[in-house]
Structure 1
Amino acid sequence: MTVTSLRGRTEKVTRADADAVLVVGGTGFIGGAVLRELSRTHGTSDGLPRLHALSRKPMRAAEATGAHHVVGDLADPRTLRGVCSGIGTVIHAASYLGRDARQCDAVNHAGTRALLDEACRAGVRNFIYVSTASVYGTGPHRGHREGELRTAPTSPASTSRLRAEGLVRAAGGTVLRPHLVYGVGDRWFVPTLVRMLRGVPFWPTGAPARISAIAVEDLARVVAGLAWRPRSHGDGDTYHAADPRPLSMESLIARLRADLGLPEVGRLPIAEHRAQLRRVMPGLSDHQHALLTQDHWYDADRVWQRIGLDPGPGFEERFAACSSWYAEHVASRPGA
């Protein structure tokens, strides 16, 4: 029988099992950072593997962190049977972000449901799902706390992830909603902004937009903090995951100009800016354009209070540590 709640435990979990963590999505940008953070803070007193990583193929990240590799595919629930056996915490950081609606449903929604079923069947105590603030849709959004905004996703990926969130909360798991994440391995946020500025060296007129952003290593600290400090069984809560200090896009653009040699930026009315970008970046959606040019920042104090950690040094120091990687990555991509 399929168990649909983390409250309905069906297997006895030993004290050692309660410390075991399964990371789903360890080959990805966020999941890989989570694996590295957990390996740094995770103990294995009896020499047994306490950190597990699930992926479809062998992964170098698992080998580098000493994690035990588990084969499984969210798009094929049959491969997930038994993957949560002996696990105390599941961290689900895997998503399909393309525009194929069927694939979004198969991986993000149905895959999460199948993983939850396995977690509940195995008696997992703590399930953490890394979702996205894009479930709120297009803003502007300014300083809203969790529960104050209606969800209005605009893409198949965000729609399917919102449905997955509902499953996780109903089962008693925890949902994280980061907005924009930067750092080594980022293939969308900063690279997209660089392509925009090179293709159209202008920015919309008006007050500089502010956004919620977080360095990937700080997001990993949030996830690890929730893993090591679980609440009572069946929390079912949602948190914004960001640096609580909103980032000015004007400051970010100035930093990119200094570090990556981007051209001086002029000003255009926002409608004209959007029209020019449609010609040079036809794949950039209206929603994605708005995410980078309008206010999208959220109150993220609760999650830092919840885990009892400092948010970190902030954008300037975090970006300085990864700017050389961005310089190399952006330079190596034609059109970037």
Structure 2
Amino acid sequence: MNLLGVPVLVTGGSGFVGSRIAAWLAKQGADVRAVVRKVGPHPGLDSPHITQVQGDFTDPIMARYICGGRELVFHAAATVGKDLSEALHVNVTGTAILSGAARVAHCQRFIHISTLSVYDFQSGREAYTEDSPLRMIGKTYAHSPAATPHYGITKAEAERALQVEMSHGLPATIFRLGAVLGVHPTSSWAVKVPAKVRTGKVPVLGDGSDIMPWTHVDNVTHAIGLALDRSESIGRTYNVVDGDVAWRNFIEDMRSWFPDAPPAPVIPAEAAKPGDKFIGHCPNDRMVAELGYAPVRSYFEGMAEAGAWWRKQGT
């Protein structure tokens, strides 16, 4: 899709994924309106093609304003949620309001950034495809060290809210991201989780053979670009995953960045509860078949990028 001069909206502009989407769009000449919590010198938002707008997309009036005149909307804003009420307001109500405003504004495409954490990994499946059951409010689920118990549940509810607007004609596509590699001050898997690993606060379950599905932020924008080129992607959902890494290897790779990091605590397999499992295998077969997807960045590149960032911090 030729994005030169195309007016677009990106929520979560000051966040990791949102800022990279905004920068990717700006590089292609799009007219980017980036919604931020506070206007300022945010990483990735320094292009002259990007205009920062401070606002709350959960406010219906603001949502109508920021969607006005935009052909494409990229909804990357979310909260892990300190409590359930906050997560419901931002992730669910906010998505409902923004997607409704985008439909009324006759936006041509709505790209929704979701997460693999929407899946009910306690259902014991060998693989979780885009058609697998999602989490439900009222049940208790395990969560990754990058999130809270409310994140996956409310992101699943956000998708349900979006489906309502899709049933009324909103041309949307949903991307469920694995652990996103790449560096940004708000990055979970390159900054926040490694900080916990450094102090021995991230455990390994049993022998650590459980897997972590990963992707790279540059692979995310690549997948979005492929979807924009294909109208058949409208109404579809895609797992954005580039491979599985064993949890113990993931932790050890992060520990290698910190000479003073203690060994990761181990939860014996026999002491594990069914609810300790927060992730599973999520194939990307649909994205490969329908979008012709192949990754542009590797796991090793992503981890090397993060390791270099930590060394620059003086670890």
TM-score by length of 1: 0.75
CA distance in 1, matches of 2:127, 2:196: 28
> Contact conserved, 2:197 with 2:255, CA < 8 A, in 1?
no
> Contact conserved, 2:200 with 2:263, CA < 8 A, in 1?
no
Deviations 1:249-294 (A, max 9, x none): 23323322433334456855146689xxxxxxxxxxx96x643xxx
Unaligned runs of 5+ in 2: 142-148, 167-171
Deviations 1:308-331 (A, max 9, x none): 342134211221123111345694
Map of 1:47 onto structure 2:
none
Map of 1:20 onto structure 2:
7
Given the alignment of the two structures, is residue 188 of structure 1 paired with residue 225 of structure 2, yes or no?
no
Deviations 1:140-194 (A, max 9, x none): 6543221034434643333322222123233331111113222212543354355
Q: CA RMSD in A?
A: 3.2
> Residues 92 and 59 (structure 1 numbering): CA distance in 2 closer, same or farther, change over 3 Å?
farther
CA distance in 2, matches of 1:267, 1:126: 45
Map of 2:159 onto structure 1:
165
> Contact conserved, 1:18 with 1:87, CA < 8 A, in 2?
no
> Contact conserved, 1:34 with 1:224, CA < 8 A, in 2?
no
> Contact conserved, 1:54 with 1:72, CA < 8 A, in 2?
yes
CA distance in 1, matches of 2:271, 2:81: 27
Q: Which amino acid aligns with 1:143?
A: A
1:115 equivalent among 90, 93, 98:
98
> Residues 327 and 270 (structure 1 numbering): CA distance in 2 closer, same or farther, change over 3 Å?
farther
Map of 1:320 onto structure 2:
304
CA distance in 2, matches of 1:272, 1:100: 28
Identity of aligned residues (%): 23
Map of 1:208 onto structure 2:
209
Deviations 1:64-95 (A, max 9, x none): 12312234202322222222122111000001
SS at match of 2:256: helix
> Residues 194 and 63 (structure 1 numbering): CA distance in 2 closer, same or farther, change over 3 Å?
closer
SS at match of 1:144: coil
Map of 2:23 onto structure 1:
36
CA distance in 2, matches of 1:82, 1:74: 9
Give the count of matched residue pairs. Answer: 293
CA distance in 2, matches of 1:102, 1:222: 32
CA distance in 1, matches of 2:263, 2:3: 57
> Contact conserved, 1:24 with 1:31, CA < 8 A, in 2?
yes
Q: Where in structure 2 are the equivalents of 1:295-334 lying within 5 Å?
A: 296-328=280-312, 331=315
CA radius of gyration, larger in:
1
